[in-house]
Amino acid sequence: MSLAEKYPQEVERILAKYPPEHKRSAVMPLLYLAQREEGYITKAAMQDVAQLLEMTETEVAAIIGFYTLYHDKKEGKYRMQVCTDLPCALRGADQFLEELCENLGIQVGETTADGLITLEEVKCLAACDKAPMFQLQSGEGIEYYENMTVDKTMELIEALRKAGKEVE
């Protein structure tokens, strides 16, 4: 089922925001819509977006590859993206990330054994003065966590695990 068939009102609402001659501008909101359900953008969804906007698949794939908001493969239920840009590194982000990897038993780019967390390193989340910090992406959106410690982060992860088990 295509994106337009699956979410007809939302696709129409997104496209209505742009003049027909500039409909390519709708690429980012359509990609976000395509990613919402699965947590990543499938090849079929990428093709749908390209077709809807009269773009090539390569152009759409380039946007997915450039922005940390979009993903082209299934990974953890939550994506924990730790900023390690220079100002954050000066406030301990590198050490924070290293210790977090040790506590989770994974490396950057890997997913925890339970499939809950995929840990990523990103540049500039615009909170340099509040590092160590990270954003947590899920199907529900993005949440920011600032002035974090490894202990506080592990408490958050345990709360996510517990909440996930209560839902099942």
Residue 160 confidence class, pLDDT cut points 50, 70, 90: very high
Q: What is the pLDDT of residues 88-122, one digit of tens each?
A: 999 999 999 999 999 999 999 999 999 999 999 99
pLDDT at 11: 94
Q: Is the pLDDT of residue 167 over 60?
A: no
Average pLDDT, the chain: 91
pLDDT at 165: 65
Domains of the chain, first to last: 3-66 (1.10.10.1590), 78-167 (3.40.30.10)
Distant-in-sequence, close-in-space partners of 158: CB < 8 Å, separation ≥ 6: none
Q: Is the pLDDT of residue 71 over 90?
A: no
Query: Model-level pTM?
Result: 0.71
For β-strands 117-122 and 78-83, DSSP reports them as parallel
Instruction: Please state, as a whole number, how many other Cβ atoms lie within 10 Å of the Cβ of residue 37.
Output: 12
What's the token pair of residue 80?
């924990």
Q: Is the pLDDT of residue 168 over 70?
A: no
- Contact between residue 56 and residue 25 where contact means Cβ atoms under 8 Å apart: no
Distant-in-sequence, close-in-space partners of 104: CB < 8 Å, separation ≥ 6: 112, 117, 119, 157
| Cα(89)–Cα(85) distance, integer angstroms | 6
Rounded average pLDDT over 133-157: 93
Residue 39 confidence class, pLDDT cut points 50, 70, 90: confident
User: Between 68 and 75, whose confidence is greater?
Assistant: 75
pLDDT at 166: 61
Q: Is the pLDDT of residue 133 over 90?
A: yes
User: Between 38 and 112, whose confidence is greater?
Assistant: 112
